[in-house]
Structure 1
């Protein structure tokens, strides 16, 4: 197994740690940042999430730089992203920091795209992520991080940065999902 795939698997192993820190009742106290107070567990969860999200860039960098791109990596990398985002969104809904409908919209798109990718894989095709999909992922990661840290430092100024970026992520989710399905409808139609 090459280095990029090991990094991707490492990202997957960070997900349970992330969820335990966020969801298991532990009182590690609170921390004050830029006039806002948040549970220390949320800050640690945000750090774990950022590290896990950062490995997405890192594995891609090594795969391209050292020509270590594999079909396994093309399949595993987006799956790891989806698992991380799913864990984060469900955790935020559980913590009542995100409306459930937003999580459902995002997760529905992810399941639909994964379904098309699986059909394509069965047909011997590997579908790479589009630039719209990459922007969607960036906004999701930024929004999730901002929610985890309770909108610091924007909360002090009354700017709902976390929810603004989440709205952008939802809109990009819908647009990129539609674009993905339209561009790859031949894969689904061919398999019917």
Structure 2
């Protein structure tokens, strides 16, 4: 395999494994939740790695940027939906995350049609990290609560998932506002 294709393959990996992520979470069993945690960690690491690899190998391409952008949205939605179905996270929280993704993607598409590029911003990159951390934290909480005899300290730590989700939601909204604020001159034209 030609290593120049590795960044794009990592983006494809996140897309094609999203149905498996959905199934793991939808199972509603501790083994499924913990399998989803492992898969989410792999997806997050591949997301961090693909851009770095592309820049290091000097193979950044429009296809790679596209795959990186949509794969993030696909795998996050693929985790959010079964978590809402199971009642693990509130539907409104998932809606905020998904609406922000559509809004920022639409803004970036509009900018591209106007001949401008809106690059990923630091808040946006951090937002994905916080979102994945919140999803993982919640899945760990669900898994340890279903296992008999879990230590109280672990149960207490796992029960802090709403705080992590709160941080993720603050970053989600804040990064969305930042994108639109920076694009205000473009939008006013």
Residue 66 of structure 1 is matched in structure 2 by 57
Any conservation in 2 of the 1:8–1:56 contact (CA below 8 Å)?
yes
More helix by share: 2
Aligned equivalent of 1:28: none
Alignment of 1:125-164 (within 5 A): 125-150=116-141, 155-157=154-156, 160-164=159-163
1:77: Cα distance to partner? 0.7
Give the Cα separation in 2 of the matches to 1:122 and 1:155: 50
Uncovered stretches (5+) of structure 1, i.e. residues with no partner:
26-37
Please, which of 13, 35, 47 is the counterpart of residue 44 of structure 1? 35
Q: Residue in 2 aligned with 1:9?
A: 12
In the superposition, the TM-score normalised over structure 2's length comes to 0.85
TM-score (norm 1): 0.84
1:153-192 pair list within 5 angstroms: 155-157=154-156, 160-190=159-189
Q: Which residue matches 1:80?
A: 71
Instruction: Select the structure that is richer in strand.
Output: 1
Match of 1:23 in 2: 26
Are 2:73 and 2:101, in contact at CA under 8 Å, matched by a contact in 1? yes
Listed one character per residue, the Cα deviations across residues 74-108 of structure 1 (whole Å, up to 9, x for unaligned) are 22212111111111111211111001111111111
Unaligned runs of 5+ in 2: 145-150
Give the aligned length.
178
